[in-house]
């Protein structure tokens, strides 16, 4: 994203017939979502960026066209909604695709509650009814909005139609995920370069007192801490035009979440440094990459762990195929770790470091698919493998892939080596 | 935040007796919140950073102590919850303050629904009951969780106790807000410096074709666009250790939201450039600052607008006082703009640029207090004033202040001048 060309892309649009079809399949009358700007369903349905303010989306099939959609917003969001929800959808996405759902924005200044406004939009779209109307809603719709809808004569049933639609990425969405993943890899490359450039800190007092201890690391004139490394990565992400989303993590050593090694402790040679990023691109889509580095390792535990984790990653990727259960991929990685003598399944007390091998990534870092579902083409998933030893350290590798008709494609690549090299 | 010393602070803690007192005042039995990691109430109550995973908090007064609190989490969050919800609360905040609420974390691996787990925690804390128990919940609790709680024999009533508690900042919270606001001001200073360093672009073809048009701006070897300016600001924020939270905005000229001036259009002399930041610090608290710059302005509209907006900002700040209605401050700013001949209240069609003069800032960029409430000591609010003309441009100034017993204190300062100077 370094040239800013992302801004030249056409804005994303969402095929709302995915929703009208779910309404028809459930023999319901309409779909309603209410949420604040951090609600990923709302962002997916409208493509309007985050805001603290609540808004509501109503989608109903209609007889003469594919459907009708109304987006109720506070008036401060009107222009954004007109631009993203109406104009962008009309323009079509990068591939020129349009759905046949007509869209309308309703703005109100000091509006009534969004549940009340959604109920009014339902009434307008469907007309007065003699009996209860049946609405599909996401299970986690705010309770107050649900109560407004019920009091207005609607019966609510929950649907995972939006989660399913979100999990199946369009070409335009995959393009966005690829861009942000490239920025994420640039961030990892920056961390690796900083570690490769680090040198022994002759001023390290603790090391001078104990002759057997190697001096800690120094970079660019100051002691190298996890916090400095994290900031260096985030500076690269910002220059690439993506945000760190609060999810850039640098975990040093093997203690739980790397936190007993404080962010301001100096990093030492031989310590495992797990760098994990999940930046957010301008359209809200997330990258996800994890690499592990050890400066001047002694070739002991971390070398064996790194061989095992590379093999587990390879086994997981080899198992990625449309139709395969997510749990199967997880099993392949676990079997490989066990074959190398590592515990693939640390108990719940150490679960801070336990992660699913496969999870969907999109507008959220954790979304469908997850365990219990089968992989499908156009799923975008993080594939991760790792081991941890409370004293020796931790090693983890993770990448983002799109499931294709005949396997998978890595959305961006970065070498797996544990000894940092300048990139 | 440039030295990383923020990480040396004690973690924040939350006085849960604010919640137990609300429960007692409402003659209810307990308080329940269920939310994902982006829910600011959940973060406030637990101090555990964001996560896509849902969790639940139950707080009940108890007879022999101040109260009991249970935090139900998925097992992957256990260690974080132990550290932030239990250990940090036990350690006390920067001022050494402790409440008398005992805290417990309950982790479950592939757990039941959080509503079900919250209902179980309510039963454990309160014992079996012959009649319906009465629970206070935030109005926007997820509907599925509310239904679980109701089916388990609880009657729900909504409360704004958490919003009120969040709006009254502790000294430790004000300290965090001050730190992130200083980083925000460093970001604005970077934008101002970039604009001050910009020069006429002799390669500007559009200007060469039209002799009356001044060449557009160039900086650091390339054309200066809004997107490049935004990235330069975000690089500074990252180096300061805060995230841009997707809320760094650079609006050029007067069109709605600055969007018809595309992010990749070159900035020109004489155009108004509004730089608005709301970074998020490591504890989740937000800064908020807005400044306007014009490179080589002609002293016309933007000069008059800038004088009016400075006067409106001054009038608003002068009105800030404990006990004063938020709407009064708004009225003072509007009256000043009108006195200078500017429309203080552009209609709803232009509302993308209309903003409240005063709004609370904390874990969210928009929170209590807002219009309809009175200012109280320890409220932290953004104070903003601005005008817009679709062709001439826009000018806006905004700062973050804490309401004190005898007025207000600016959390960080930056000059107001419209002609950029290197900082």
Per domain, the residue ranges of chain B are 5-167, 171-410
Least confident of A326-335, A367-376, B4-13: B4-13
Q: How far apart are CA A21 and CA A61, in angstroms?
A: 8
Closest-CA residue to A56 (of A86, A78, A33): A33
Task: Spell out which residues of chain B touch residue A352, defining contact as CB-CB under 8 Å.
Answer: 76-80
Q: What is the mean pLDDT of residues A104-108?
A: 92
Q: What is the pairing mode between strands A380-389 and A272-277?
A: unpaired
C-alpha of A367 from chain center: 7
**Sign of the dihedral defined by the CA atoms of residues A230, A232, A236, A241, in that order:** positive
Strand ordering across the sheet containing B217-219? B199-200, B217-219, B222-223
Q: Which of residues 341-370 of A touch B (CB under 8 A)?
A: 348-349, 351-352, 354-355, 364-367
pLDDT band at residue A210, thresholds of 50, 70 and 90? confident
Q: How far apart are CA B81 and CA B75, in angstroms?
A: 10
**What is residue A347's predicted lDDT score, i.e. its pLDDT?**
45
Other C-beta atoms lying within 10 Å of the C-beta of residue B210: 8
Q: Quick one: three-class SS letters along chain B?
A: CCCCHHHHCCCCCCCCHHHHHHHHHCCCCEEEEEECCCCHHHHHHHCCCCCCCCEEEEEECCCCCCEEEEEEEEHHHHHHHHHHHHHHHHHCCCCCCCCCEEEEEEEECCCCCHHHHHHHHHHHHHCCCCCCEEEEECCCCEHHHHHHHHHCCEEEEECCHHHHHHHCCCHHHHHHHHHHHHHHHHHHHHHHHHHHHCEECCCCHHHHHCCCCCCCEEECCEECEHHHHHHHHHHHHHHCCCECCCCCEEEECCCHHHCCCCCCCECCCCCEEEEEECCECCCCCECCEEEEEECCCCCCHHHHHHHHHHHHHHHHHHHCCCCCEHHHHHHHHHHHHHHCCCCCCCCHHHHHHCCCCEEECCCCCCECCCCCCECCCCCEEEEEEEEEECCCEEEEEEEEEEEECCEEEECCCCCCCCCCCCC
CB–CB of B71/B80 below 8 Å? no
Given an 8 Å threshold on Cβ–Cβ distance, is B78 in contact with A239? Answer: no
Q: Which of residues 289-348 of A touch B (CB under 8 A)?
A: 348
Is A8 a residue whose pLDDT tops 70? no
**Sign of the dihedral defined by the CA atoms of residues A183, A184, A185, A188, in that order:** positive
Task: Spell out which residues of chain A touch residue B49, defining contact as CB-CB under 8 Å.
Answer: 246
Task: Spell out which residues of chain A touch residue B245, defining contact as CB-CB under 8 Å.
Answer: 243
**What is residue B347's predicted lDDT score, i.e. its pLDDT?**
46
The pTM is what?
A: 0.93
Q: Which residue has the tokens 């990093």?
A: A267
Tell me which residues of chain B have a pLDDT lower than 50.
1-8, 258-259, 347-354
CB–CB of A76/A48 below 8 Å? no
Q: How many Cα atoms within 13 Å fall on the side-chain side of residue B32?
A: 33
* Strand, helix or coil for residue A37: coil
- Put simply, whether A129 touches B (Cβ < 8 Å) is no
Given an 8 Å threshold on Cβ–Cβ distance, is A144 in contact with B145? Answer: no
Given an 8 Å threshold on Cβ–Cβ distance, is B227 in contact with A241? Answer: yes
**What is residue A83's predicted lDDT score, i.e. its pLDDT?**
86
Q: How many Cα atoms within 13 Å fall on the side-chain side of residue A289?
A: 29
C-alpha distances out from residue A314 to A273, A310, A318, A330, Å: 21, 6, 6, 12
CATH 2.40.30.10 fits A5-166, yes or no: no
Q: Which of residues 176-195 of A touch B (CB under 8 A)?
A: none
Higher-confidence position of B352 and A154? A154
Closest-CA residue to B51 (of B31, B75, B19, B32): B75
**What is residue B67's predicted lDDT score, i.e. its pLDDT?**
93
Is A213 a residue whose pLDDT tops 70? yes
Local structure of residue A85 (DSSP, 8 states): I
Read off the pLDDT of residues A267-305 as tens digits, 9 standing for 90 and up.
999 999 999 999 999 999 999 999 999 999 988 999 999
Task: Spell out which residues of chain B touch residue A234, defining contact as CB-CB under 8 Å.
Answer: 238-239, 243
Given an 8 Å threshold on Cβ–Cβ distance, is A139 in contact with B139? Answer: no
Q: Quick one: three-class SS letters along B311-337?
A: HHHHHHHHHCCCCCEHHHHHHHHHHHH
CB–CB of B252/B258 below 8 Å? yes
- Put simply, whether A257 touches B (Cβ < 8 Å) is yes
Given an 8 Å threshold on Cβ–Cβ distance, is A366 in contact with B244? Answer: no
Strand ordering across the sheet containing A217-219? A199-200, A217-219, A222-223
Q: What is the pairing mode between strands A249-252 and A272-277?
A: antiparallel
Q: How far apart are CA B318 and CA A98, in angstroms?
A: 53
C-alpha distances out from residue B271 to A346, B19, B267, B301, B417, Å: 59, 50, 7, 11, 15
Overall fold of domain B5-167: Creatine Amidinohydrolase; Chain A, domain 1 (3.40.350)
Q: How far apart are CA A120 and CA A116, in angstroms?
A: 6
**What is residue A350's predicted lDDT score, i.e. its pLDDT?**
36
Higher-confidence position of A154 and A214? A154
Q: How far apart are CA B312 and CA B309, in angstroms?
A: 5
CATH 3.90.230.10 fits B171-410, yes or no: yes
**What is residue B110's predicted lDDT score, i.e. its pLDDT?**
64
Q: Which of A139, A228, A351 faces B144 most closely, judged by CB atoms?
A: A139
Q: What ipTM score was computed for the predicted complex, to two decimals?
A: 0.91
* E strand or H helix at A123: helix A114-126
Least confident of A105-109, A170-174, B140-144: A105-109
CB–CB of A58/A125 below 8 Å? yes
Closest-CA residue to A72 (of A140, A123, A18): A123
Closest-CA residue to B396 (of B284, B321, B299, B312): B312
**What is residue A96's predicted lDDT score, i.e. its pLDDT?**
67
Is A258 a residue whose pLDDT tops 60? no
């Amino acid at each position: 994203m370094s040239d800013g060309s992302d801004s030249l892309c056409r804005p994303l649009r969402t095929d709302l017939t995915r929703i009208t079809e779910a309404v028809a399949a459930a023999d319901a009358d309409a779909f309603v979502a209410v949420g604040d700007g951090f609600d990923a369903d709302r962002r997916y349905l409208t493509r309007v960026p985050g805001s603290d303010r609540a808004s509501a989306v109503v989608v109903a099939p209609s007889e003469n066209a594919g459907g009708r959609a109304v987006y109720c917003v506070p008036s401060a969001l009107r222009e954004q909604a007109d631009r993203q929800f109406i104009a962008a959808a009309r323009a079509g996405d990068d591939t020129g695709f349009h759905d046949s759902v007509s869209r309308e924005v309703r703005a109100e200044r000091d509006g009534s509650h969004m549940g009340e406004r959604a109920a009014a939009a339902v009434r307008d779209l469907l007309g007065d009814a003699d009996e209860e109307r049946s609405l599909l809603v996401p299970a986690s719709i705010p309770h107050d909005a649900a109560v407004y809808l019920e009091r207005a004569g609607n019966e609510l049933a929950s649907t995972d139609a939006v989660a399913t639609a979100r999990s199946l990425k369009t070409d335009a969405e995959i393009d966005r995920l690829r861009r942000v993943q490239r920025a994420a890899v640039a961030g990892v490359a920056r961390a690796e370069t900083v570690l490769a450039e680090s040198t022994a800190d002759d001023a390290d007092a603790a090391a001078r007192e104990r002759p057997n201890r190697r001096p800690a690391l120094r970079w660019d004139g100051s002691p190298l801490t996890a916090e400095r490394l994290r900031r260096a990565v985030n500076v690269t992400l910002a220059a690439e035009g993506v945000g760190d989303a609060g999810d850039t993590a640098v975990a040093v050593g093997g203690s739980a979440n790397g936190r007993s090694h404080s962010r301001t402790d100096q990093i030492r040679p031989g310590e495992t440094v797990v760098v994990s990023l999940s930046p957010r691109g301008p359209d809200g889509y997330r990258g996800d990459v994890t690499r592990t580095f050890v400066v001047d390792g002694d070739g002991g535990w971390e070398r064996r762990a790194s061989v095992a984790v590379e093999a587990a990653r390879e086994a997981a990727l080899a198992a990625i195929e449309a139709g395969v259960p997510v749990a199967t991929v997880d099993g392949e990685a676990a079997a490989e770790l066990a074959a190398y003598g590592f515990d693939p399944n640390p108990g719940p007390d150490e679960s801070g470091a336990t992660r699913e091998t496969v999870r969907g990534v999109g507008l959220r870092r954790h979304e469908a698919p997850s365990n219990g579902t089968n992989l499908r083409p156009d799923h975008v998933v993080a594939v991760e493998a790792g081991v941890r030893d409370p004293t020796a350290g931790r090693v983890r590798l993770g990448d983002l892939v799109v499931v294709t008709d005949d396997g998978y494609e890595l959305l961006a690549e970065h070498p797996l080596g544990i000894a940092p090299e300048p990139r």
